[in-house]
Structure 1
Amino acid sequence: MHERALHTRATLIRAAAEVFEECGYHGAGINRILTKAGVTAGAMYFHFKSKESLARAVMLEQATDVTLPQQPQGLQQLVDVTLALARELQSNTLLRAGVRLAVDQGGPAVQDDTVYMWWAERFREELVAARREGELLASVDDAEFANVLVAAFTGTQLKSQFSTGWADLPLRIMSLWRYLLPGIATPEAAARITLDSERRLPWE
């Protein structure tokens, strides 16, 4: 795709993210998105055939601006990844819009768990590394717990959004881990994990 076309597409996604994050799927009008993006309807329809396809792009590309480690390392990194996401949700419009769309069952996410499965696979990779390092209890199913974690994170961030506008989300995620870790980690591994919402992450 031509560089100018790539720029237009990216501009549309970011403008749409702002509108979807503010108004939700049904409240977001195409004209408002076009005005914010500064592009024509023709330019939009060159890239996206409908508001639904634009919303789906926002939902699937929600992590574009999030810096995460590329190599799985195990439980501490898994904890740190969820902490990074908690912090990003406090200010990252694209991530917040993608998350909002993903939980909106009246929008493009209805009966579509693609984005949830993407995060579950990302989490599972850390669990596979944790097992290789002897950090997991033998009874833990990597894929099953990855899906449990996605569901738990999703519910926790929704509660935080409603209660404090995500202000307390890092604290809530660390609290979540205090209860989850004993169920998946060996006592030795659990004792090594730092659950600090103010922790400076290694890749920052």
Structure 2
Amino acid sequence: MAERQERAIRTRESILEAMASLFIEVGYEAATIAALVERTGLTRGALYFHFPTKEAMARGVLARAVTREGILPQTHKLQEWVDLGLLLAYRLPREPMLRAAVQLSVDPRARGLFGTRWPDWIDLGEDLLVEAKERGELLPHAVPAEIARLAVGAWTGVQLVTEALPDRLDLSEEIARLYQLILPNVASIGVLAKLDTSPYRAERLLGPAADADAAGKPLT
């Protein structure tokens, strides 16, 4: 029984990964079940057993978008908030599921059908910023809800522009610059000097996972 459940979980994951790749390559509207059948080698019945519709697959991809993976407890909550954005910037080019989730979030057709996960990212960021405010890490005028909302919008804009530019700037470096512009306007002076906004911070936080990714090898 346990083996069967594990096999079902692996199959479900492989379906989501294959569909995520299709969403990235051709967009939500053009991604078809026929193409998914060809890519996975599964029958339509097997696909529909796990996901009854393409929309359900898209929702499954979006469900993986919001994560605190890699975020470790820090002396300052504001650092954890920065880490949230830096980690996403590092992982996005390397993880098709995340890339597909972002693409679905900006696709008008997909967004009209099942919305986006941006509100969840905003809520996650706001929770950290509220704690930072309570600890005196933010300037008196800084409003956590506003910072969280505008930061997610700015992050998304940077990602889309970076991807579209012909010279393909490094997303981690661009997001690091974004935080370097935002923080002096919201962080208290004493905390600001202690924050790490290096574009290499996410790689250090992920540790062995990042090393394995860079080497193209699975973790053992």
Q: Closer, same or farther in 2 for the Cα pair 1:38/1:70, shift >3 Å?
A: farther
Distance 2:132 2:167 in 1: 32
Higher fraction of helix: 2
For residue 178 of structure 1, what is the aligned residue in structure 2?
180
Correspondence list, 1:24-43, <5 A: 24-43=27-46
**Distance in 2 between residues matched to 1:202 and 1:62, nearest whole Å:** 19
Q: Which residue is equivalent to 1:19?
A: 22
CA contact (8 A) 1:74 1:126 kept: yes
AA matched with 1:170: S
Are the counterparts in 1 of residues 62 and 116 from structure 2 also a CA contact under 8 Å? no
Q: Which amino acid aligns with 2:112?
A: V
Compute the displacement of 1:11 (Å): 1.4
Which structure 2 residue ranges, 5 or more long, are not aligned? Answer: 208-220
How far the C-alpha of 1:195 sits from its partner, in A, is 2.2
* Residue in 1 that maps onto 2:101: 98
Aligned to 1:122: 124
**Structure 1 stretches lacking a partner, 5+ long:** none
Moved over 4 A (4+): 70-73, 111-114, 164-167
Once the two structures are TM-superposed, the CA of residue 114 in structure 1 deviates from its matched residue by 4.5
Alignment of 1:147-162 (within 5 A): 147-162=149-164
Q: TM-score, normalised by structure 2?
A: 0.81
**Contact 2:71–2:83 (8 Å) recurs in 1:** no
SS in 1 for 2:205: coil
Stretch deviating more after TM superposition (173-182 or 191-200): 191-200
User: What is the root-mean-square deviation in Å for CA atoms of aligned residues?
Assistant: 2.4
Q: Aligned with 1:195: secondary structure?
A: coil
After TM superposition, give the deviation of residue 111 of structure 1 in Å: 6.9
How far is 1:42 from its partner?
A: 1.0
Identity between Structure 1 and Structure 2 (%): 34
Residues 203 and 3 of structure 1, relative CA distance in 2, 3 Å threshold:
closer
**Structure 1 CA distance, aligned partners of 2:48 and 2:167?**
34
Amino acid at match of 1:146: A
Give the conservation status (yes or no) of the 8 Å contact 1:90–1:167: no
Q: Does 1:134 align with 2:151?
A: no
Contact 1:78 1:126 in 2 (8 A): yes
TM-score (norm 1): 0.87
Match of 2:54 in 1: 51
8 A contact 1:12–1:34 mirrored in 2: no
Q: Shift in Å at residue 41 of structure 1?
A: 0.7
The Cα shift of 1:173 comes to 0.8
Name the aligned partner's letter for residue 33 of structure 1.
L
**1:63 touches 1:94 (CA, 8 Å); kept in 2?**
no
Between 137-146 and 171-180, report the one with greater CA deviation: 137-146
